Amino acid sequence: MKKNSTVLVPPEEMEKQRHFSELIYSKNLEFSSEIGRKPLAFVRTFGCQMNEHDSEKISGMLEEMGYGFCDGFEDADLIVLNTCCVRENAEDKVFGHIGGLKHLKKKRPWLVTAVCGCMTEQPHIVSEIKKSYRNVDLVFGTHNLHRLPELLYRVLDGGVRVYETSRTDNEVAEGVPVKRCGNVQAWVTVMYGCDNYCTYCIVPYVRGHERSRRPEDILAEVKKLCALGYSEITLLGQNVNSYGKDLEEGTDFAELLRLICENTPMRRIRFMTSHPKDISDRLIDVIAEFPAICNQLHLPVQSGSTRLLKRMNRHYTREQYLETVAKVRGRNPGITLTTDIIVGFPGETDEDFEDTLSLVEQVRYDQAYTFIYSRREGTPAAKYPDQVPEEIVKERFGRLLELQNRISREISEGYLGKTVEVLCEGFSKTNLSRYTGRTDGNKIVNFTSPENVTGRLVNVKIESIQTWSLEGSVTE
């Protein structure tokens, strides 16, 4: 018997949600005729790609309920704040926004405000909102996302405040509508939750146990995306390498990738995040075997010190991590490697930090996402007595950033004069006369082209570099 076997949210529950969605649609039609336009929603997202994708689902449900969308708080009739709690400053930012909504409610009394996401899975946060922010009408957690139609209906129909953060820790909801942000690249969740309990991380407490989607549901979604013209997907999960451990079928992540490659014409497939302790030889082989799987791997190391890795409950040593990197590179030459690193984890000594620097020097990551340790109430590390003084952490953080910037720049310089294949995602956000896209190895490339090549794979000659991106022009 597999642990914690995952079940689908029953079809009758999903049907019930569609019913509430229709009821809100009718209400919105009446509202539209009163105000002469569609009611507008604004969904603001904080945090990671999982949250970005959850917001796409929230928007998908709202669209079915008859909402249009606007780009800011001022024009909205419904505001949804989809929150993150991985870092303390992200939470502070959200509270700042919630406070700021009070005056909007005074100006537009019909405005409905909702707060959801990881923050609202923490009881002390919900209590604080209840007590101090009476301008918030609806609070729901990540486990109740698919129940948004019902919860919102209770607010709109009853004029009451609704708090729904109950959780069922073994369910997966299928069939939630999605309004995707782009039309070239799409996110596809393969699993939810995490069972790893790294001692600094709040995610397992707020996102719950690992729950995998069934392979047939993932395949159906990918096929649909291909039919809609999407060229690239990123498979999402807190630890995709645990995929399938809760499924009776026995499909693991390597097998899932193989199924997608063999049964769909998707041109590019990425995935994140991979826990180094769980990466299998089969996965490393599958990346090499199928050209559609991008030659790129995000492999968070967190620290170069075995002593700290143990304290972080990461279940690998520095040496094991380096062996994995050597294996990945041996089988997939030229693979782009990126990582996450925490600076200032409790008890980090100068020696531990030097171990991190030397590991970064040795691996030579294309890019590293570096974070200052953020103390999260409820995690074991928050109780560790040896928190590192702020000025030491800042100094170490600066040194790590400098080192990684130098390495990233040196790697980018290797692209100068070369021609790379780029999947064009559209116009560059910072310069509308240029296009932007990514290489197979996930390097961002900004480039000029005589014609609109959005959605196409094009060859771009690299003419200059920035630390995090390459610049060039189409050669065809």
Query: In the complex, what is the shortest distance from the CB of residue 104 to ligand SF4, in angstroms, rounded to a whole number?
Result: 34
| Exposed e or buried b per residue across 235-269, where buried means at least 16 C-beta atoms within 10 angstroms of its C-beta | bbbbbbbbbbbbbeeebbbbbbbbbbbeebebebb
H-assigned helices in 364-453: 390-413
Query: In the complex, what is the shortest distance from the CB of residue 148 to ligand SF4, in angstroms, rounded to a whole number?
Result: 24
How would DSSP label each residue in 170-232? Answer: TEE--------S-SSEEEEE-EE------TT--HHHHH-S-EEPPHHHHHHHHHHHHHTT--E
Helix (H, G, I), strand (E, B) or coil at 452: coil
How would DSSP label each residue in 9-42? Answer: PPHHHHHHHHHHHHHHHHHHHHHHHHHTS--EEE
Query: In the complex, what is the shortest distance from the CB of residue 327 to ligand SF4, in angstroms, rounded to a whole number?
Result: 20
> What is the C-alpha separation between 37 and 21, in angstroms, rounded?
19
Whether 349 contacts 393, CB under 8 Å:
no
Query: In the complex, what is the shortest distance from the CB of residue 436 to ligand SF4, in angstroms, rounded to a whole number?
Result: 29
Work out the angle at residue 197's Cα, subtended by the Cα atoms of residues 193 and 201, and round it to the nearest 5 degrees: 85
Helix (H, G, I), strand (E, B) or coil at 117: strand
Q: At a CB cut-off of 8 Å and minimum separation 6, what does 437 contact?
A: 422, 423, 424, 425, 444, 445, 447, 458, 460
**Pick 156 or 381: Cβ nearer ligand SF4:** 381
| Exposed e or buried b per residue across 158-169, where buried means at least 16 C-beta atoms within 10 angstroms of its C-beta | eeeebbbbebee
**Pick 50 or 151: Cβ nearer ligand SF4:** 50
Query: In the complex, what is the shortest distance from the CB of residue 268 to ligand SF4, in angstroms, rounded to a whole number?
Result: 24
**Pick 60 or 204: Cβ nearer ligand SF4:** 204
**Pick 198 or 359: Cβ nearer ligand SF4:** 198
Q: At a CB cut-off of 8 Å and minimum separation 6, what does 310 contact?
A: none
Query: In the complex, what is the shortest distance from the CB of residue 103 to ligand SF4, in angstroms, rounded to a whole number?
Result: 36
**Pick 302 or 336: Cβ nearer ligand SF4:** 302
Whether 435 contacts 451, CB under 8 Å:
no
Query: In the complex, what is the shortest distance from the CB of residue 442 to ligand SF4, in angstroms, rounded to a whole number?
Result: 20
Query: In the complex, what is the shortest distance from the CB of residue 194 to ligand SF4, in angstroms, rounded to a whole number?
Result: 3
Q: Which two tokens stand for residue 187?
A: 């996110």
Residue 339: DSSP 8-state: E
Query: In the complex, what is the shortest distance from the CB of residue 195 to ligand SF4, in angstroms, rounded to a whole number?
Result: 8
Query: In the complex, what is the shortest distance from the CB of residue 199 to ligand SF4, in angstroms, rounded to a whole number?
Result: 9
**Pick 191 or 424: Cβ nearer ligand SF4:** 191
**Pick 76 or 201: Cβ nearer ligand SF4:** 201
Q: Which two tokens stand for residue 355?
A: 């171990």
- The residues binding ligand SF4 (CB under 6 A) are 194, 196-198, 201, 203-204, 238-239, 275
**Pick 248 or 377: Cβ nearer ligand SF4:** 377
> What is the C-alpha separation between 405 and 402, in angstroms, rounded?
5
**Pick 201 or 299: Cβ nearer ligand SF4:** 201
Whether 125 contacts 119, CB under 8 Å:
yes
**Pick 252 or 278: Cβ nearer ligand SF4:** 278
